[in-house]
Amino acid sequence: MILNQFRLDGRVALITGANRGLGLGMATALAEAGADIVSVQRSVEVPALAERVNAAERRLLPLALDLTDPDAAQRALAATLDRFGRVDILVNNAGVQHRAPASDFSFDDWEAVLAVNLDAVFRFCQMVGREMVRQGHGKIINTASLLAIQGGITVPAYAASKHAVAGLTKALCNEWAGRGVNVNAIAPGYMDTDLNVTLRADPARSRAIGERIPAGRWGTAEDVAGAVVFLASPASDYVHGHVLVVDGGWLAR
């Protein structure tokens, strides 16, 4: 049955930034599809995630780690293998954003954005990908953005980091596809999450964005649930190096 190809029973998913926003939605979907969850964020207190994983009757291992710590990926992998003995899915979801005109954008802010959005993504891909190659199987899903395709306004570091994530996804695909590891990315459009609070609070900007989206609304965490389950499941075994846009039709306008 084709629907069985979307099941994740017995799989273990490691996801960064799973305590809120898109990460919470993706972790919930993976758990509901059958995966046990290892979540990485700054605190081990993740009540909303714990409630959802428990409701799905799956296991949860929350890890409090700073993604800018060069050892975070190694520690997360070690804890995952110690608890579950395997890692089947990696979702690099955590991200930060800073808004300022490019002419005034400080280098400290530039480095802070890239440290989380790119450096940590590479470290987790490298560390977990190495284990997946050893296993002979695995699914890596990076969170890109519409700004992996467009340039955005007053977010030069964020746009640069997301372009880099898309490129890294394709580069890793070229090395690991033949070794049983799928590397893909999801590029969310304008989502109603904490990352876009500033935009949502600007009536003119929020209205202009909403009017351009053919679907007629901003996206939600639930809108990426199907995409992440697909890319994490056997249904996507022949999908490699793809950046899957989930944008309500924004790029089609």
The pLDDT, as a whole number, for residue 199 is 74
d(CA 129, CA 123): 9
Average pLDDT, the chain: 95
Q: Quick check: is 183 in a domain?
A: yes
Per residue in 166-225, pLDDT tens?
A: 999 999 999 999 999 999 999 999 998 877 777 777 788 788 888 899 999 999 999 999
Q: Say if residue 237's pLDDT is above 80.
A: yes
What's the rounded Cα separation, in Å, for the pair 135 and 227? 24
For residue 187, what pLDDT is reported? Answer: 98
Residues 82-103: what's their mean pLDDT?
Answer: 97
How confident is the model at residue 138, as a pLDDT? 98
Write down the pTM of the prediction: 0.95
Domain holding 54: CATH number?
A: 3.40.50.720
Q: How many domains does the structure of the chain reveal?
A: 1
In this predicted model, which residue has the larger pLDDT, 197 or 247? 247
Residue 253 in any domain: the answer is: no
Assess whether pLDDT exceeds 80 at residue 43: yes
- Residue 160 in any domain: the answer is yes
Examine residue 22 and state whether it is found in any structural domain, yes or no: yes
pLDDT band at 118 (very low <50, low <70, confident <90, very high): very high
Structure confidence at residue 109 as a pLDDT band (50, 70, 90): very high
252 found inside a domain:
no
Read off the tokens for 33.
Answer: 């599809």
95 close to 116: Cβ distance less than 8 angstroms: yes
**pLDDT category, 24, cuts 50, 70, 90?**
very high
d(CA 234, CA 249) in angstroms, rounded, equals: 26
The average pLDDT across 58-80 equals 98
In DSSP notation, 171-215 reads HHHHHHGGGTEEEEEEEE-SBSSGGGHHHHH-HHHHHHHHHH-TT
At residue 184, the pLDDT reads 99
- Position 67 scores a pLDDT of 97
**Position 32 pLDDT exceeds 80:** yes
Tokens 């949502």 correspond to 200
Q: Is residue 199 part of a domain?
A: yes
Is position 116 within any domain?
yes
Q: Which residue has the higher pLDDT, 9 or 193?
A: 9
| 158 catalytically annotated | yes
What residues make up the domain containing 103? 2-247
Percentage of the chain beyond pLDDT 70 is 100
Active-site choice (158, 190, 218, 250):
158
